[in-house]
């Protein structure tokens, strides 16, 4: 669910920040703060915020996009803005009004489509009261069209007449064939009636309202690189043959060796169910309950049954294996039924995710929304302490995992190990994660993986604003034509190779960004670089010296090759030597440097 938390003043902004963080930690929605320009000063540095100028127009646009709205404002503002645009209560997104002190939380629209549940969650955060006004909630304490997580409504055409009958005091019978239907217990159910509510996992049900409890665990196994369509076809046919409803499947379960198997992941995605994975020992613990144990499978996997074992492990110790292993040419599936609802996210573990995040040079305004979102969603955020300080305000509580400077390989290994255990991990780099940073080390270690579990995790790399981009932007546009980057660190690259690359860049006329230019112990290569470029370029070639970009003590100095003093440079600095065509101009009191694109040059016509 996408959620816009809309605030119109600084007081409301404080609550909006708390809600965005806490709701994201608890339920992982896409919760974003939307704030009115000029009225919400106090935290203008959050790059994930949406800033708007016209409240009424913005509310209507967000609502039209299908985004849920939490308005930290008067209910009347929301009513006047959105009232003329309401269309269908089954399609309109939830809208909630909340007072700035968090005391009153009022679901205005979409009570049975997330607003009531969201209001209760907010009340738990703020200590306020959720003003639930929908008829069935106030009468019975439940809503048939807003069942607990995992439950599904089979035939919504029966919803309105069934609810109306209950509210009118007419007889409605409840039949529970499976699952825990405690949430329905307070209903005024009749012992017998032509109008019914049926809780069942059977595919073929009666004419009344049908609710599907999440009681089925679907265990699957397959050979490596099985066609996803083969597994999908097998599962659907197995469910049909067993007269079981897809809507009662709580999760897709398998052996952890299959956590990167395309067919298993595609099946879970197509069913809209989470994929959960178990180690071989957990599946072998179910061996006494298997109907078709196999010594061959044991020799290959360490357990006597993958699909049956996974189904039973996910469904719990009191589950029954109601569909034994069924097979296609390269895949198997089995189904277990639990006596109570299956908490799909509480069994086994998810496929681990490692997101390598570039957070830019330091200023949060230069951090992309994707980067902020990945950090906010991560269960563990791994990085050098200085970089974690920069993003500490958007992390989940307890997610921070500090690492010392110089311990890059240990840092990456730890992040990979966490992800291999099913954790959602963000590995933080400054600048761009793929430019002289940790993304490269991730893939180097994967190439020589000494832990095969690493090969089964999902990996995502999120780009960031690089140091050379930030330095160039501060100085003008020196990267406007061909450019390159060279690291002067000889810790991993031989000094002779660095000199060769500097000479090639200087002679070719490239604008050249120098990363890792100098440290306490490396004091000669920057002098050598200056001399190499002086031998190839005019002495008045522009040089940019940028230190602590995006931080409070940022300095950007524009000088020339002739006047450049390497002693002014440390490891927090990036240096850019201008190219053969780079120019410096003065406009007003400001000097700018840029490299022409050459648009004015006559281009050779194609033959």
Is residue 429 located within the same domain as residue 507? Answer: no
157 shares a domain with 101? no
18, 125: one domain: yes
At residue 14, the pLDDT reads 85
Task: Say which residues have a Cβ less than 8 Å from residue 329's Cβ, sequence separation at least 6.
Answer: 230
Partners of 429 in the β-ladder: 358
User: Is residue 108 located within the same domain as residue 174?
Assistant: no
Split at pLDDT 50, 70, 90, the class of 136 is low
Cβ atoms of 353 and 419 closer than 8 Å: yes
Per-residue pLDDT at 28: 44
Instruction: Give me the pLDDT at residue 47, please.
Output: 61
Q: Please name the residue that has the structure tokens 């004419």.
A: 207
Residue 602 counted as domain residue: no
Is 24 found in the same domain as 71? yes
What pLDDT is recorded for position 377? 84
Mean pLDDT lowest among 89-93, 139-143, 211-215: 139-143
pTM above 0.85?
no
Give the pLDDT confidence score for residue 139 in this predicted structure: 66
Average pLDDT of the residues of the chain: 89
Domain at 60, CATH number: 3.40.50.11220
Instruction: Measure the CA–CA gap between 464 and 429, rounded to whole angstroms.
Output: 9
307 belongs to a structural domain: yes
Instruction: Supply 164's token pair.
Output: 């109306």
Highest mean pLDDT: which range of 44-58, 274-288, 368-382, 394-408: 274-288
Please determine, for residue 95, whether its predicted confidence score (pLDDT) is greater than 70.
yes
In a domain, 317, yes or no: yes
Helix (H) or strand (E) holding 250: strand 249-255
Q: For residue 600, what pLDDT band results from cuts at 50, 70 and 90?
A: low
Q: So what's the pLDDT on residue 398?
A: 83
Both 289 and 329 in one domain: the answer is: yes
Residues 447 and 512 in one domain: no
**To which residue do tokens 């109570």 refer?**
340
Q: Is the pLDDT of residue 355 over 50?
A: yes
Distance in angstroms between the alpha carbons of the first and the last residue of the chain: 56
* Max avg pLDDT among 49-63, 88-102, 121-135, 339-353: 339-353
Rounded CA separation 340/34 (Å): 40
Any domain includes 101: yes
Reading the block at residue 224, the tokens are 């490596």
Looking at residue 113, its pLDDT comes to 72
CA-based Rg of the chain, rounded to a whole angstrom? Answer: 30
Confidence of residue 24 (pLDDT cuts 50, 70, 90): low
Task: With cut-offs at 50, 70 and 90, classify the pLDDT of residue 12.
Answer: confident
Residue 40, pLDDT score: 63
| CATH value at residue 408 | 3.40.1010.10
141 domain residue, yes or no: no
Instruction: Give the DSSP H or E segment for 587.
Output: strand 583-587
Q: Which residues pair with 593 in a beta bridge?
A: 476, 584
Query: What percent of the chain clears pLDDT 90, i.e. is strictly above it?
Result: 56
The last residue of a domain, from among 212, 233, 253: 212
pLDDT on residue 602 = 47
In Å, what is the CA distance from 326 to each residue of 231, 261, 292, 293, 337? 11, 19, 10, 13, 16
Mean pLDDT of 64-93: 85
Q: How far apart are CA 388 and CA 394, in angstroms?
A: 10
Clarify whether residues 481 and 587 are in a common domain.
yes
Cα–Cα nearest to 199, from 151, 143, 145, 146: 151
> pLDDT digit string (tens) for 287-318?
999 999 999 999 999 999 999 999 999 999 99
> Do 94 and 176 reside in the same domain of the chain?
no
Work out the pLDDT band at 435, boundaries 50, 70, 90: very high
Query: What is the span of the domain harbouring residue 234?
Result: 216-346
Once rounded to an integer, what is the mean pLDDT over residues 338-364? 92
Least confident of 260-264, 331-335, 355-359, 515-519: 515-519
Give how far Cα 511 sits from Cα of 86, 139, 311, 515, Å: 57, 73, 60, 13
- For residues 453 and 385, state if they share a domain: yes
pLDDT value at residue 119:
84
Domain boundary pick from 302, 320, 346: 346
Widest pairwise Cα distance in the chain: 98
Query: What's the pLDDT score for residue 256?
Result: 93
Q: Same domain for 441 and 478?
A: no
In this predicted structure, the answer to whether residue 445 has a pLDDT above a threshold of 50 is yes
Of the listed ranges 19-33, 346-360, 455-469, 566-580, the one predicted with least confidence: 19-33
Are the CB atoms for 430 and 362 separated by under 8 Å?
yes
pLDDT band per the 50, 70, 90 thresholds, residue 265: very high
- Residue 601 pLDDT class (50, 70, 90 cuts): low
Distance of CA 474 to the CA centre of its chain: 31
pLDDT of 212 higher than 90: yes
Model pLDDT, residue 358: 95
Residue 25: pLDDT band with limits 50, 70, 90: very low
Q: Which of 346, 373, 395 is the last residue of a domain?
A: 346
Is residue 140 one of the residues assigned to a domain?
A: no
- And the tokens for 259? 């956590």
> In 3-state terms, the chain is what percent helix, strand and coil (to 5)?
35, 25, 40
pLDDT higher than 60, residue 205: yes
Region of poorest pLDDT, from 88-102, 192-206, 508-522, 566-580: 88-102
Are 258 and 317 in the same domain? yes
SS (H, E, C) 305-361: CCHHHHHHHHHCCCCEEEEEEEECCCEEEEEEECCCCCCHHHCCECCCEEEEEECEC
- Overall domain count for the chain: 5
Of 431 and 30, which is predicted with more confidence? 431
Find the CATH number of the domain harbouring 478.
3.30.950.10
The answer to the question of residue 202 being in a domain is: yes
User: Does some domain include residue 142?
Assistant: no
- In this prediction, residue 276 has a pLDDT band, given cuts at 50, 70 and 90, of very high
């Amino acid at each position: 669910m996408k959620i816009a938390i809309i605030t119109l003043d600084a007081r409301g902004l404080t609550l909006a920040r708390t809600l965005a963080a806490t709701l994201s930690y608890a339920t992982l929605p896409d919760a974003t703060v939307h704030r009115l320009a000029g009225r919400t000063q106090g935290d203008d540095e959050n790059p994930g915020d949406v800033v708007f100028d016209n409240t009424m127009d913005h509310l209507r646009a967000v609502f039209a996009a299908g985004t849920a709205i939490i308005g930290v404002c008067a209910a009347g503002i929301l009513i006047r803005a959105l009232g003329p645009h309401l269309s269908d209560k089954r399609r309109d997104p939830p809208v909630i009004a909340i007072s700035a002190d968090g005391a009153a939380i009022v679901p205005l629209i979409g009570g049975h489509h997330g607003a009531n549940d969201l209001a209760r969650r907010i009340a738990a955060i703020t200590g306020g009261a959720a003003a639930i006004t929908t008829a069935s909630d106030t009468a019975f304490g439940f809503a048939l069209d807003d069942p607990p997580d995992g439950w599904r409504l089979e035939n919504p055409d029966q919803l309105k007449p069934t609810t109306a009958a209950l509210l009118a005091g007419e007889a409605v019978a409840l039949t529970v064939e499976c699952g825990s239907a405690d949430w329905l217990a307070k209903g005024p159910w009749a012992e017998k009636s032509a109008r019914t509510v049926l809780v069942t996992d059977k595919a073929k049900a009666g004419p009344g309202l049908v609710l599907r409890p999440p009681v089925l665990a679907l265990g699957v196994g397959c050979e490596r690189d099985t066609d996803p369509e083969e597994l999908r076809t097998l599962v659907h046919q197995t469910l049909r043959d067993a007269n079981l409803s897809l809507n009662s499947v709580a999760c897709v379960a398998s052996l952890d060796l299959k956590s990167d198997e395309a067919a298993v992941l595609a099946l879970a995605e197509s069913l809209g169910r989470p994929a959960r994975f178990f180690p071989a020992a957990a599946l072998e613990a179910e061996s006494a309950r298997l109907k078709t144990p196999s010594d061959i499978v044991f020799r290959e996997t360490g357990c006597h049954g993958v699909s049956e074992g996974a189904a039973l492990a996910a469904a719990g110790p009191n589950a029954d294996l109601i569909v034994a292993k069924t097979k296609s040419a390269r895949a198997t599936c089995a189904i277990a039924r639990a006596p109570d609802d299956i908490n799909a996210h509480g069994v086994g573990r998810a496929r681990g995710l490692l997101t390598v995040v570039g957070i830019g040079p330091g200023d949060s305004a230069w951090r992309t929304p994707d980067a902020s979102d990945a950090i906010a969603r991560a269960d563990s955020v791994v990085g050098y302490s200085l970089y974690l300080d920069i993003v500490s305000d958007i992390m989940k509580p307890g997610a921070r995992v500090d690492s010392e400077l110089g311990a890059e390989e240990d840092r990456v290994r730890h992040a990979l190990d966490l992800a291999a255990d099913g954790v959602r991990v963000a590995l933080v780099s400054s600048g761009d994660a793929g430019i002289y940073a940790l993304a490269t080390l991730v893939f180097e270690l994967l190439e020589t993986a000494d832990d095969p579990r690493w090969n089964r995790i999902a990996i995502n790399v999120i780009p960031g604003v690089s140091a050379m981009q930030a330095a160039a932007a501060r100085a003008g546009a020196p990267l406007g034509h061909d450019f390159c980057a060279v690291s002067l660190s000889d810790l991993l690259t031989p000094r002779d190779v660095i000199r060769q690359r500097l000479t090639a860049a200087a002679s070719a006329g490239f604008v050249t960004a120098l990363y890792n230019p100098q440290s306490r112990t490396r004091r000669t290569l920057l002098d050598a670089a200056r001399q190499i470029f002086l031998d190839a370029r005019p002495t008045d070639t522009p040089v940019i010296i940028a230190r602590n970009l995006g931080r409070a003590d940022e300095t950007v100095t524009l000088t020339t090759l002739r006047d450049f003093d390497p002693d002014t440079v440390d490891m927090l600095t990036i240096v850019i030597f201008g190219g053969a065509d780079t120019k410096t101009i003065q406009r007003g009191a400001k000097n700018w440097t840029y490299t022409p694109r050459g648009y004015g040059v006559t281009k050779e016509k194609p033959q």
